[in-house]
Chain A
Amino acid sequence: MTAFLRTVLLCLVLPFSAFAGPGTVKGTILSADGQPVPGVAVLLDGTDFVTETDAEGNYVLEHIPEGSYSLSVSGVGFKAVHREITVSGGDPKPENFSIRMEGVALKNVTVLGLTELQAVNRQAYNVTTIDAKKLYNTTLDLSHALDRLAGIRVRESGGVGSNIDFSLNGFSGNQVRFFLDGVPMDNFGSSFQINNVPVNFAERVEVYKGSVPVWLGSDALGGAVNIITGNKLRNYIDVSYSFGSFNTHRSCINAALTSKKGFTAQISAFQNYSDNNYKVTLEVADINTGAYTPDQTVRRFHDLYHNETVVANIGVLDKSWADQLLLGITLGNNYKEIQTGARMVAVFGARHTRGNIIMPTLKYKKQNFLIRGLDVVLNANYNFGKEQTIDTVSGRYDWYGNYKAYPGLGGESARTMYKYGNNNGLVTTTLFYKISEKQSLALNNVFSTFNRKGADELYPESTVNAQPQTTIKNITGLSYKIDFTDKWTATVFGKILHQNAHRRSVITAVGMPDEILDQYNKSTNYGYGLATSYYLLPQLQAKFSYEKSNRLPENFELFGDVVNQESNFNLKPEISHNFNLGLNYNFSIGEQHRFMAGLTGIYRDAKDFIFFRFNANQWKVVADNLNAVSNIGFESELRYSFKQLLMVELNATYQDIRNQVKYDPPGSIGISPVYHDRMPNIPFLYGHGSASLFLNDVLCRGDKLSFGYNLLYVYAFYLYWPSRGSKDDKYDIPTQLSHDVNMIYTLKNGRYNIALECRNLANERLYDNFSLQKPGRSFAIKLRYFYAK
């Protein structure tokens, strides 16, 4: 990792080739209490050689001509230090520094002052960042990487590519919005989702809990996840391939090529393939009699998943009229077999889904646009992708793979080949304006269109699918940030959300001409909030944020999906009030034992929650507004490191999510018996722990060997309302405890990497959802090559 960041920075600051020299300077920067200091600038005075320290406080400057230099170390909040050094061609002697805090300092935060990771974490928002680079040698996808954070639970229905339910502080589904480099991902379709994008695709991932800054223009109800891809490297290649249990193959290529004139070509491609044929234990029904045989261990046989995605961009960098102008396209597709229904006893052998993404994109960035201090970012894309469910086999499979055909047309669940495209267009524009050293404005606008077109080749006569279903959505946000003092910063913001959905129906009646009926669902909603941060002590930061947020109804909720979901065109937005209060504290015991502790309290009060109920004949589900919930939650985090050798992280989350629907059904006089009951089927106590051991220069100089251990704990929770029914007979999802281990060996400062990992080491029967068993013990090996010029 160190090497990776070094290279990143080198590429950033060094003009290529011209100064290539033999010398290297490297070392580690520690604070007075022995803690590594990331993100401080290290430079050779009077030259262009400059870099910053990585997360472990390490830095390296390479290709320096031999000679004497003055080495300077400066970081925001630290007293600058200088040292005279001599650079020669041989192995460098480490130039380590101990630097002292200089009061509190958020003044003049420049890109070199803090790593972006830290800069993000120091925002007043309740935000947590994952340094994806640290995970590049693992086989994690983004959802599994996110699952390790406090406040987040990712529930999976099975193996690779299975359906996931991402929840953040009890919000889930579309209440949490995902962004790719600040661009909403809502409409990317099934081929580009956090459960199939490998962690190598991202440089870092920011998770905003509760309040979401306006530059992530969205209608998130309870938080947002912003995936940042690294566009810093001008010339590099990063290739990885992994092979694992259940015939799982994953690969990822990231590369960029940039000419001296600033012409650039970037490509990211990734692929996942898995048979997911892991063993499950359940009661297996006889295909003819329905009689169950308990405790049968069978292999999943219809669960293949694969996806392939390419993201390509060409354009120019560092022109007077554009810091970045990229034209690109995202192409991808996925295929997924459906093994089971909502309960594992319902088994399928032929149902499957397909999806693709064909999305041209435009990205434009310019600092000091027209006037000094005005930065502009523009993104646009249009997704021509399609989604399809295929269910055409009339018959039944059993868990042994036996098949019984039924005469006539039918499906395993409901016969369909319905294929639809949402034809989503999106334009996001963000303007940042720095009014003065202490004040800035941000204006963001997100405009999106939706134009559903679908057809089912099995039912060509149906006219319902052919009618227009369109939505136009526009969200504008404005925020103002002021730094009152070095210690105190505050942001206030407001949002306006417009939505206009249109549906046309054709009325056909016997003996009457067809009549056309147009319906509209128009809404305008307002959101607002503030975020503020204050340093109580130099090492103790307090944060507070509040947002009144709105989540507009989704298109699939308004229009239904033809197959399983009925339209409810009268849905209203969900509304939530989110409060966050957080404290972060860094301290150390002795020189070598360093700690970071964080504690966050949250309060959420959400109304008009969109939930699903059965339609009148229980043949489909339909979205409706009714539910109201509150959540009082606590998250705590503790990090400990010992020298450069050992790192331990622990986090725990407790969320008290309560039903606030007093009258159910609406109009009742009596109070609902489950008013104030804990919401069922949502984990409420969980935690994650990890420990890593790093060994340097094990077999040869410049290599690194690390051992990692991860623990996930989720306390048992009930499937149905906790207060109801006899405790002995209640359905629950039992306490889950899973252990993952890995070993990573890197050579040549990270150029060659090999990783071995084992997930679910104890081969526990794991369930995130009632009845849906996840994979047992699995192994994977990952090879990765990284080269940057």
Chain B
Amino acid sequence: MTMLKKSTLMLASGIVLGLASCSKDNKDNGGSGNAGAGRFIIAAVPTSTGSEGVADYLLTAENLESGTLSTEGNGLEQDGTYRYYTTSGTKFFSMLYGQGNPGAVTVYQLDKNGKMQKLTNFQSETVQSFAAVGKDILMVKEARKYATPTSRWYRVSTESLTIVAEGQFNSAELANNGELAHFSWIEQVGNKVFAPFFSIKATDAGGWSTDYPDSAWVAVYSYPDMTLEKVIKDNRTSSIGLYFTNGLTKVENGDVYAFSPSNTIKINGTAQSFNSTKPSSIIRIKSGTTEFDQSYLFNIEAVAGGAYMTSWINVGKGVVVATLNTSDKKSQWQVANKLAVIDLVNKTFKWVTGAPDAAAITDFSMTNYSAQDGKAYIGITTSDKKSAVYKIDAGTATATRGLELVGGNITAIQWLPAQ
């Protein structure tokens, strides 16, 4: 089995199309939980392969510190896997990934007993990035081919649970370099939406390769009309974020930090190779500005022994818990095997101890939870098919094993407040 195929398999086995959308509204709900106030929702998928016959299951827990949950005869079945999850207020959204065809998004709320109850369904397009913006969820369906470069955005009201506005933009014009811009994610920043993107050829032969591996871009849109204000660029690192991965995070003073995995590729026939000359790094956009701060650059590869960043979760006070991947396992997609604590403001980097060995880790959950109290809860699945929630204490850079999940891989951890 070639490296390429293996990494593709690993990715297919691990990816869940959700991403660290840490809940900032739930400050009083630490990992110890508070039964009256809500529930943790854990998504799990029982098997790693197959595009058919495999579904996600949603389970609830009062705390993440201990205990065992099983998918056997238990859990709310979702219509397939490759779903992504987000919360807004007291509503939990289970969105679909449907190969380009529209389908049903299911909305749940907790009842008096802390059980998830289906509130409604509404129809939505399959999208590649989404974010809570005010009382909306903004979703973007990306163009797939350079020859058909139209991308569309949809604004869903979390009150009416319907699409209230939609529009489109040209992703080729956005890249403006003969390739296609593909948002890695979107993020609300003040009254704007920041959309970091990578540049891809998006042709039959070129696929997800690029001839522009050494630049980072963020498209800045006004909200709610989604007018493109500008595209900002920085040549000190590669593109920001990964497919379905938010490369932006806001800290308390309003500064926005961005990381690049620096894992863009070129394609040689059927072989692929990494082509960015820039190291995986963190850069910054100062609060209130729409330019990269040229005074700030944090070269992660230099402090991580060549490992590169693949995702992060903000735990408050300018600190993130990051997942990294060692350079020998480098992939264009979301594959990681190590954890570190990074102080964005003070530029410090510390490996996390107490997590399973890198060689044993097959998956990190990609939608994770932090109450902004210096702790993150991340699901880790190991090759012995054990999956558990680990509490990462950023202060001590240690991981502690908590709630265990039997019969599946944890793919998402969310907190849903009671109504």
A interface with B by C-beta (< 8 Å): 283, 285-286, 288-292, 341-343, 345-346, 394, 396, 406-411, 413-415, 458-459, 462-465, 505-510, 515, 517, 519, 562, 564, 568-570, 611-621, 624, 626-627, 661, 664-674, 679-681, 719-721, 723-727, 729-731
Taking CB atoms, residues of chain A closer than 8 Å to B362 are 665, 668
**In whole angstroms, what is the CA distance A613 to B74 when docked?**
25
- Whether A724 contacts B408 in the complex (CB less than 8 A), given A509-B268, A611-B49, A619-B99, comes out as yes
Q: Is the CB of A289 within 8 A of B164?
A: yes
Sampled A-B contacts (22; CB under 8 Å): A286-B123, A289-B162, A291-B160, A343-B101, A407-B168, A505-B269, A508-B205, A515-B269, A562-B204, A611-B50, A613-B12, A613-B51, A618-B82, A619-B144, A669-B385, A672-B47, A723-B73, A723-B407, A724-B407, A729-B75, A729-B76, A731-B77
Partner of A415, one of B12, B148, B204: B148
Q: Which of B2-10, B24-32, B315-323 contacts A (4 or more CB under 8 A)?
A: B2-10
**In whole angstroms, what is the CA distance A668 to B11 when docked?**
14
- Whether A665 contacts B10 in the complex (CB less than 8 A), given A341-B98, A406-B150, comes out as yes
Beta-carbon nearest neighbor of A504 in chain B: B269
Beta-carbon nearest neighbor of A671 in chain B: B385
Taking CB atoms, residues of chain A closer than 8 Å to B75 are 724-726, 729
Partner of A290, one of B51, B73, B163: B163
Query: Does chain A have a CB within 8 A of B52?
Result: yes
Q: Which of B53-61, B303-311, B344-352, B390-398 contacts A (4 or more CB under 8 A)?
A: B53-61
Query: Does chain A have a CB within 8 A of B203?
Result: yes
Q: Is the CB of A626 within 8 A of B49?
A: yes
**In whole angstroms, what is the CA distance A621 to B54 when docked?**
14
Determine how close the nearest CB of chain B comes to the CB of A643; give it in whole angstroms. 49
Taking CB atoms, residues of chain B closer than 8 Å to A285 are 102, 122-123
Q: Is the CB of A517 within 8 A of B269?
A: yes
Taking CB atoms, residues of chain B closer than 8 Å to A508 are 205
**In whole angstroms, what is the CA distance A288 to B122 when docked?**
11
CB contact list, B13-61 vs A, under 8 A:
13, 15, 17, 46-55, 57
Query: Does chain A have a CB within 8 A of B91?
Result: no
Determine how close the nearest CB of chain B comes to the CB of A391; give it in whole angstroms. 10
- Whether A673 contacts B148 in the complex (CB less than 8 A), given A283-B121, A519-B270, A617-B208, comes out as no
Partner of A570, one of B2, B102, B121, B333: B2
- Whether A621 contacts B51 in the complex (CB less than 8 A), given A285-B122, A414-B144, comes out as yes
Q: Is the CB of B204 within 8 A of A665?
A: no
Q: Is the CB of B383 within 8 A of A670?
A: yes
Taking CB atoms, residues of chain B closer than 8 Å to A283 are 104, 121
**In whole angstroms, what is the CA distance A401 to B145 when docked?**
28
Residue of B50, B51, B386 contacting most chain A CB atoms (<10 Å)? B50
Determine how close the nearest CB of chain B comes to the CB of A663; give it in whole angstroms. 8
Q: Is the CB of B76 within 8 A of A725?
A: yes
**In whole angstroms, what is the CA distance A585 to B274 when docked?**
68
Q: Is the CB of A345 within 8 A of B5?
A: no
- The interface size bin for chain B is 35 or more
Partner of B150, one of A394, A465, A621: A394
Taking CB atoms, residues of chain A closer than 8 Å to B163 are 288-290
Taking CB atoms, residues of chain B closer than 8 Å to A569 are 270
Beta-carbon nearest neighbor of B76 in chain A: A729
Beta-carbon nearest neighbor of A343 in chain B: B103
CB contact list, B264-280 vs A, under 8 A:
266, 268-270
Partner of A409, one of B103, B150, B204, B266: B150
**In whole angstroms, what is the CA distance A389 to B251 when docked?**
49
**In whole angstroms, what is the CA distance A729 to B15 when docked?**
24
Residue of A346, A679, A723 contacting most chain B CB atoms (<10 Å)? A346
Q: Is the CB of B49 within 8 A of A407?
A: no
Partner of B71, one of A616, A672, A673: A673
Partner of A726, one of B47, B76, B97, B168: B76
Determine how close the nearest CB of chain A comes to the CB of B297; give it in whole angstroms. 28
**Which secondary structure dominates where chain A touches chain B?**
loop
Closest 10 CB pairs of A and B: A670-B385, A285-B123, A341-B101, A289-B162, A673-B407, A720-B55, A725-B77, A346-B101, A464-B204, A670-B384
**In whole angstroms, what is the CA distance A700 to B160 when docked?**
71
Query: Does chain A have a CB within 8 A of B79?
Result: yes
CB contact list, B126-180 vs A, under 8 A:
144-145, 147-150, 152, 156, 160-164, 168, 170
Taking CB atoms, residues of chain A closer than 8 Å to B224 are none
Query: Does chain A have a CB within 8 A of B211?
Result: yes
Taking CB atoms, residues of chain A closer than 8 Å to B99 are 342, 413, 564, 614, 618-621
Q: Is the CB of B77 within 8 A of A729?
A: yes
Query: Does chain A have a CB within 8 A of B406?
Result: yes
- Whether A616 contacts B12 in the complex (CB less than 8 A), given A570-B2, A725-B77, comes out as yes
Query: Does chain A have a CB within 8 A of B67?
Result: no
Taking CB atoms, residues of chain A closer than 8 Å to B121 are 283, 292
**In whole angstroms, what is the CA distance A481 to B73 when docked?**
52
Q: Is the CB of A406 within 8 A of B168?
A: yes
Query: Does chain A have a CB within 8 A of B86?
Result: no
Q: Is the CB of A409 within 8 A of B148?
A: yes
Beta-carbon nearest neighbor of A569 in chain B: B270
Determine how close the nearest CB of chain A comes to the CB of B56; give it in whole angstroms. 9
Query: Does chain A have a CB within 8 A of B124?
Result: yes
Determine how close the nearest CB of chain A comes to the CB of B17; give it in whole angstroms. 7
- Whether A665 contacts B48 in the complex (CB less than 8 A), given A671-B385, A721-B53, comes out as yes
6 new A-B contacts at CB < 8 Å, known A414-B100, A673-B71: A462-B204, A508-B205, A613-B51, A614-B99, A673-B406, A679-B53
Beta-carbon nearest neighbor of B162 in chain A: A289
Determine how close the nearest CB of chain A comes to the CB of B96; give it in whole angstroms. 9
Q: Is the CB of B407 within 8 A of A627?
A: no
Taking CB atoms, residues of chain A closer than 8 Å to B103 are 341, 343, 345-346
Query: Does chain A have a CB within 8 A of B263?
Result: no
Taking CB atoms, residues of chain A closer than 8 Å to B333 are 616-617
**In whole angstroms, what is the CA distance A630 to B286 when docked?**
60
Residue of B48, B103, B269, B384 contacting most chain A CB atoms (<10 Å)? B269
Query: Does chain A have a CB within 8 A of B296?
Result: no
Query: Does chain A have a CB within 8 A of B223?
Result: no
Q: Is the CB of A724 within 8 A of B150?
A: no
Taking CB atoms, residues of chain B closer than 8 Å to A408 are 148-150, 168, 170
Q: Is the CB of B73 within 8 A of A465?
A: no
Taking CB atoms, residues of chain A closer than 8 Å to B252 are none
Q: Is the CB of B152 within 8 A of A342?
A: no
Partner of B205, one of A342, A463, A620: A463
- Whether A616 contacts B8 in the complex (CB less than 8 A), given A413-B100, A724-B75, comes out as yes
**In whole angstroms, what is the CA distance A615 to B51 when docked?**
9
- Whether A406 contacts B152 in the complex (CB less than 8 A), given A613-B51, A618-B82, comes out as yes
Taking CB atoms, residues of chain A closer than 8 Å to B74 are 725-726
A-contact 0/1 string along B67-94, CB 8 Å cutoff: 0000111111101101000000000000
- Whether A614 contacts B82 in the complex (CB less than 8 A), given A725-B77, A726-B75, comes out as yes
- Whether A343 contacts B104 in the complex (CB less than 8 A), given A619-B144, A668-B384, comes out as yes
Determine how close the nearest CB of chain B comes to the CB of A438; give it in whole angstroms. 49
Determine how close the nearest CB of chain B comes to the CB of A392; give it in whole angstroms. 10
Query: Does chain A have a CB within 8 A of B188?
Result: no
**In whole angstroms, what is the CA distance A284 to B244 when docked?**
29
Q: Is the CB of A725 within 8 A of B73?
A: yes
Q: Is the CB of A415 within 8 A of B145?
A: yes
Beta-carbon nearest neighbor of A516 in chain B: B269
Taking CB atoms, residues of chain A closer than 8 Å to B204 are 459, 462-465, 562
Taking CB atoms, residues of chain B closer than 8 Å to A394 are 150
- Whether A411 contacts B53 in the complex (CB less than 8 A), given A345-B102, A517-B270, comes out as no
Beta-carbon nearest neighbor of B333 in chain A: A616
Determine how close the nearest CB of chain A comes to the CB of B105; give it in whole angstroms. 8
Taking CB atoms, residues of chain A closer than 8 Å to B332 are 616
- Whether A665 contacts B269 in the complex (CB less than 8 A), given A290-B122, A290-B163, A679-B53, comes out as no
- Whether A614 contacts B12 in the complex (CB less than 8 A), given A285-B123, A341-B98, comes out as yes
Taking CB atoms, residues of chain B closer than 8 Å to A673 are 46-47, 71-72, 385, 406-408
